[in-house]
Each structure stands twice: as C-alpha cells, then as structure tokens.
C-alpha cells in the first residue's frame, strides 16, 4: 500500500489518485508502508519492482518489455579523458526508444486500475510516443498536444500508434503558451474523467514512479554498488528527481550504503535550472528559448525546484552545454562507442567531458551517464551527423582496388 504525502507541508492526502496537495497545492510524493521491499522477478521488466510502484493488482499491468536496459562501459571516450570508470545507461533500447516507456507503463497501468478510459498529455515526442504505444496496447483513447516545432520524425512515430495528435501554436518557445496548454489539458481531463499524464512529478506523481527504476537497475548492474556521479539530461526535471528518489529508496532498503552525486545537464540557451543553481535562487521562467535540442527545452520546468533540492541533498551540480557541442558529442558516441542517441541524450557525455577537463571530476570516480533516447528520434540531427561525410559512387570493379 501507499500514501500520497505533500512534499511542502507533509500532510497525507486522502485521495490516492490526486496529483497535488489540496491544502497548499504542493507536489505529492508516493510513499510506501515499509523501507524494505521484495523483488518479484516473475513479473516483466520494471514490474519486478512492483512493491515500490503504485499498483495494487498485477492484473492491471500494461507492459511492452520496458526496463533491463544495458549498462555499457565506455570503450574509448572514457579513456581519452582519463575517466576509466565511465558507464552509459542506454535507455534508448526501451520498446519505443526512450526512458519514457517506464513512465508510460506505470501511468497507463495506473489509468487502467482507476477504470478510466483515456489519457491526455503534452510532449515534444518521446513521452507522446510512449503513452500512445502503451495506451494503444491497453485499448485506451489518447489525446496528445505537441510543440509547434517538434521534430516530424517523433510526431510520425506518435501518430502511428493512433492517438489524436494536435500541434499547439507557440508551444515550446512561448512561456504563456506552455502555461495555458498545461492548465487547459488539466481542465479537459477533469471535465471528462481522463488522466493527465505529463512526465513531471508535479503533474503525474504516480506515473513518474516508473522512472526511479532506472536507479534500481543501475545499482544492480554495478553489482550492488551505487556510482559516484550520475549525469542526467534535464528539461522539466522529473527524470533526475525520480532517479534520486530511486537511489534513496534503494539505500533505505539496505541494498547500498551510499548515494551518488547527481548532475543536471541542460542545453545552453534554455537552461533555467542551471541559471537558478548558479545564482543560488529558485527557478525562474525564461522569456524565450534559444536551443534546438528537442526533448529538454522548457522555459518553465515543472519540477525545477525539486531538482535544485536534489542537487543540494546529493552534493551535486548543474551545468549547460552549447548545441554545437551537443551535436559533436552525439557524433562521437556513435562513431567511438557504437551508441546511436538523440542530442538530448548526448548532452551527458559532453557534460562529463567538460567536468573532467575543468577538474571537477578527478578521474577516479565511477560515473554513469544516462542516454535517454535513441538517435532515430530526431531525423534532422541524424542528417547533420552525416552532412560532411562523402558518399562516393563507384563501379563494382573499383571495390577490388580499395586500400586499407
């Protein structure tokens, strides 16, 4: 069993399906009866951790095999910067190509448990694809409102699963449009008894429990150890905050004896959390967005202040990466590590390298970089990776004359 506890006032909410505190509007946290919990290896993927997920009956589980993503030690890049214990957690190998499948599996399962028939959300691509896929598997209707300038490849994937998809004018670069979209989706769901599934703890605390299973897996894949440092791409902030919660729960259960330092990585040009961290103040909404790194560009991150709290608690930090450096990192991950990821994932390698070069990382740390989405998600970025590479047209007989 679980309770919903306000992170601001500490009150227990009587409505287990609520997303925000009725007393002060604060973010609700899913809390469980005991610190220790059993694993259930007979259940699929992330559901082996069902005792720490907000589902009361496994018959409601909607799964496509999410979780169990590889933890790949760096083959070349880590050695080049004298960081021998660099690992990449490859979340792009989830069923629809991103870590959002963990959230969608829990969210759609919880929706089924509530007996509701439809979901609604906003997404630049990855969350929408996940929700559409899992919602389609569960036979539920979906209504997705996406960014005006979202990559068409991501939208095509969403549309293939069959939900209703609409692009909202100015969403993605106009703060007023962001606020209005979220408020109106909430009102739409209230009016129709649907479930709002936005991948933020402040909006969908139940579904976001799925993301914390990344932390559980990391510790198991490192033979029962926690890493020293974890780099996470940050847009809205829900991923980092959920993973930090996962590490804390894993330690409370007695499975690790220390916690990692968390690092929030944002794109330079749309980095309200980094700016707040550097100025030691709460997150403030930006007036515009000057980055093109789809998936982590939000002018007003809903979980931004939670991330700041987690960075302080974990003795972590935040930093921002320029778009051109991110695209270079994407190419390096593909050509040097065999890891084909989208730009929003590649920022973590760029950040780890920057921190090693500045001396913030000493080189003896065990570092995990979260690669959150597969490279096919952003076709424009993929094209950029090969624009300067020649493609000669040759005769078949020329093959014999190729020199090594």
Q: What is the pLDDT of residues 97-152, one digit of tens each?
A: 999 999 999 999 999 999 999 999 988 788 999 999 999 999 999 999 988 877 77
Distances (CA, A) of 195 to 55, 117, 339: 15, 8, 35
Per DSSP, what are the bridge partners of residue 167? 146
**Poorest-pLDDT segment among 217-221, 313-317, 399-403:** 399-403
pLDDT value at 252 more than 90: yes
Beta carbons of 227 and 259 less than 8 angstroms apart: no
Is residue 362 helix, strand or coil?
Answer: coil
378-395 per-position pLDDT tens digit? 777 777 777 788 889 989
Half-sphere CA count of 137, side-chain side, radius 13 A: 20
Domain boundaries, the chain: 71-97+207-386
Q: How far apart are CA 355 and CA 263, in angstroms?
A: 10
**Poorest-pLDDT segment among 21-25, 150-154, 301-305, 314-318:** 150-154
Mean pLDDT of the region 262-269 = 97
48-74 per-position pLDDT tens digit? 999 999 998 999 999 999 999 999 999
Q: What percent of the chain has pLDDT over 70?
A: 100
* Residue 338 confidence class, pLDDT cut points 50, 70, 90: very high
DSSP string, 315-349: T-EEEEE-HHHHHHHHHHHHHHH---B-HHHHHHH
Tokens read off for 332: 């390096």
pLDDT value at 349 more than 90: yes
For residue 344, give every residue at least 6 positions away whose Cβ sits within 8 Å of its Cβ, in sequence order, or none. 233, 235, 293, 294, 295, 296, 372, 373, 378
181-210 per-position pLDDT tens digit? 989 999 999 999 999 998 999 999 999 999
Among 383, 298, 377, CA closest to 342: 377
Mean pLDDT of the region 221-240 = 97
Helix or strand (DSSP H, E) at 157: helix 152-160
Angle (deg, nearest 10), helices 379-386 and 152-160: 130
- Topology of domain 71-97+207-386 in CATH is Rossmann fold (3.40.50)
pLDDT value at 91 more than 90: yes
Residue whose tokens read 């050695």: 79
For residue 234, give every residue at least 6 positions away whose Cβ sits within 8 Å of its Cβ, in sequence order, or none. 240, 264, 265, 266, 273, 296, 301, 307, 318
* Residue 170 confidence class, pLDDT cut points 50, 70, 90: confident
Q: What is the pLDDT of residue 182?
A: 84
Is residue 257 helix, strand or coil?
Answer: coil
Helix or strand (DSSP H, E) at 194: none
* Residue 31 confidence class, pLDDT cut points 50, 70, 90: very high
Average pLDDT, the chain: 94
Q: How far apart are CA 47 and CA 45, in angstroms?
A: 5
* Residue 283 confidence class, pLDDT cut points 50, 70, 90: very high
Q: How far apart are CA 375 and CA 203, in angstroms?
A: 28
Output 288 or 321, whichever has higher pLDDT. 321
pLDDT value at 167 more than 80: yes
User: Residue 269: phi, psi to the nearest 5?
Assistant: 105, -15
Strand order across the 229-233 sheet: 71-73, 86-90, 367-371, 229-233, 261-267, 317-321
Tokens read off for 284: 């403030």
């Amino acid at each position: 069993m679980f309770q919903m506890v306000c992170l601001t006032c500490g009150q227990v909410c009587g409505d287990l399906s609520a997303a925000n505190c009725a007393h002060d509007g604060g973010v609700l946290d899913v809390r469980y009866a005991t610190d220790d919990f059993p694993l259930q290896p007979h259940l699929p993927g992330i559901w082996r951790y069902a005792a720490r997920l907000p589902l009361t009956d496994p018959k409601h589980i909607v799964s496509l095999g999410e979780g169990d993503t590889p933890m790949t030690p760096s083959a070349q890049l880590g050695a080049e910067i004298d960081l021998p214990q660099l690992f990449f957690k490859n979340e792009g190998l989830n069923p629809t190509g991103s870590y959002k499948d963990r959230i969608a599996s829990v969210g759609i399962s919880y929706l089924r448990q509530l007996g509701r028939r439809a979901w609604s959300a906003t997404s630049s691509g990855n969350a929408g694809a996940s929700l559409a896929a899992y919602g389609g598997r569960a036979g539920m209707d979906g209504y997705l409102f996406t960014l005006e300038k979202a990559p068409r490849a991501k939208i095509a994937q969403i549309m293939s699963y069959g939900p209703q998809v609409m692009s909202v004018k100015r969403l993605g670069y106009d703060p007023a449009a962001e606020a209005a979209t979220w408020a109106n989706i909430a009102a739409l769901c209230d009016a129709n008894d649907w479930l709002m599934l936005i991948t933020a703890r402040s909006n969908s605390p139940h579904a976001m429990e799925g993301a914390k299973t990344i932390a559980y897996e990391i510790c198991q894949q490192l033979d029962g150890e926690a890493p020293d440092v974890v780099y996470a791409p940050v847009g809205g902030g829900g991923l980092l905050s959920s993973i930090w919660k996962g590490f804390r729960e894993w330690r409370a259960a007695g499975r690790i004896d220390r916690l990692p330092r968390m690092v929030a990585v944002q794109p330079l040009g749309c980095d309200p959390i980094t700016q707040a961290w550097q100025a030691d103040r709460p997150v403030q909404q930006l007036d515009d967005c000057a980055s093109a790194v789809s998936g982590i560009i939000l002018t007003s991150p809903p979980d931004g202040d939670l991330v700041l709290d987690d960075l302080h608690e974990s003795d972590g930090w935040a930093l921002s990466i320029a778009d051109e450096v991110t695209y270079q990192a994407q190419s390096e991950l593909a050509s040097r590590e065999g890891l084909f990821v989208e730009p929003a994932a590649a920022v973590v390698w760029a950040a780890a390298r920057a921190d090693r070069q500045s001396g913030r990382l000493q080189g003896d740390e065990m570092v995990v970089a979260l690669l959150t989405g597969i490279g096919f998600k952003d076709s424009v970025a993929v094209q950029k990776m090969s624009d300067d590479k020649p493609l000669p047209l040759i005769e078949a007989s020329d093959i014999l004359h190729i020199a090594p």
